[in-house]
Each structure stands twice: as structure tokens, then as C-alpha cells.
């Protein structure tokens, strides 16, 4: 980021819904917690899934296999504290592949975006008074 002068890092709390609603945001990398999934769906953004532990692996299956509105980076092992252990659970190339798939303009990714936008519309209709 320093070299390209693009992007920024938010070190503390971030206004996630405002970021997701921004037209420049094309997808969300999520740990597959339920709130994050709901926020991505409400914003109509497809997801790159990176579960860490617990039910997040089940949530990932819902997003990727059932609803088909996300792509997995390939985490296969429950790992709550991988950063402290210095353990590599996902390789850089796996993340790159998922990003290229979603942002590359392929037919399958376009269908994924269409499905998640429809879910967002349905969610908004469900809460209208």
C-alpha cells in the first residue's frame, strides 16, 4: 500500500456496513460469523470465506454450497489461535485465487453476484413496513 499509495488499514473499529454499501466494494472476506454473513447479504456483496472455528465452518457451507454466494479460500482445519502459533492455515495463492474468481468477471461470479443482490432485495422487502 505504501508503494501504490492506494488503500488503507483500519486498526480498530470500522463502519463495516458503510464500507460494504460503497459501490467500490466488490466482495467481503469473512470469517463466516453469522453477523458478518448477514451484513454482506444485506449489502448484496458476495463473500470470500475464511472460517476459523466453531459453527463458522457450517456457515461457510451455507454460503458456498447452498446459497452459492461465496467462494472458499480452502481452510480445512479448526484453528482459533493460528496467528500466535505462527501456523499457516491459508496460503497467499489461495486468497489470490478466490479474489481473482470473484473479481475476474467470469460468468459464474456474475451469477453469484446476481444471487446475492436478489437476497439483499428480498431481505429489504421483508423488513419494510
User: pTM above the 0.85 mark?
Assistant: no
Q: Is the pLDDT of residue 119 over 80?
A: yes
pLDDT the model gives residue 86: 58
Higher-confidence position of 13 and 108 = 108
Q: Please report which helix (H) or strand (E) contains residue 28, including its range.
A: strand 28-30
- Average pLDDT (22-43) is 95
Q: What residues have CB less than 8 Å from 27, skipping those under 6 apart?
A: 45, 46, 47, 48, 99, 102, 103
The domain of 121 spans 23-127
Backbone angles phi, psi at 73, to 5 degrees: -85, -15
**Residue 13: inside a domain, yes or no?**
no
Of 3, 29, 34, 4, the closest CA to residue 14 belongs to: 29
**Residue 5: inside a domain, yes or no?**
no
**Residue 59: inside a domain, yes or no?**
yes
If one counts the domains in the chain, the total is: 1
Q: What is the CATH number of the domain that holds 111?
A: 3.40.50.2000
Instruction: Kindly report, residue by residue over 47-83, the tens digit of the pLDDT.
Output: 999 998 889 999 999 999 999 999 999 888 776 665 5
Cell numbers at 22, concatenated: 460503497
Burial, 120: exposed, middle or buried (Cβ in 10 Å; 0-12, 13-18, 19+)?
A: middle
Amino acid at each position: 500500500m505504501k508503494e501504490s499509495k492506494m488503500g488503507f488499514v483500519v486498526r480498530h473499529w470500522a463502519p463495516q456496513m458503510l464500507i460494504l454499501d460503497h459501490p467500490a466494494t466488490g466482495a467481503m472476506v469473512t470469517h463466516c460469523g453469522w453477523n458478518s454473513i448477514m451484513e454482506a447479504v444485506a449489502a448484496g456483496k458476495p463473500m470470500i470465506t475464511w472460517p476459523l472455528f466453531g459453527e463458522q465452518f457450517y456457515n461457510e457451507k451455507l454460503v458456498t454450497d447452498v446459497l452459492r454466494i461465496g467462494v472458499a479460500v480452502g481452510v480445512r482445519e479448526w484453528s482459533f489461535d493460528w496467528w500466535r502459533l505462527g501456523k499457516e492455515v491459508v496460503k497467499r495463492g489461495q486468497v489470490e485465487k478466490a479474489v481473482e474468481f470473484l473479481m475476474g468477471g467470469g460468468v459464474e461470479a456474475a451469477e453469484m453476484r446476481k444471487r446475492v443482490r436478489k437476497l439483499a432485495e428480498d431481505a429489504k422487502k421483508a423488513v419494510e413496513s
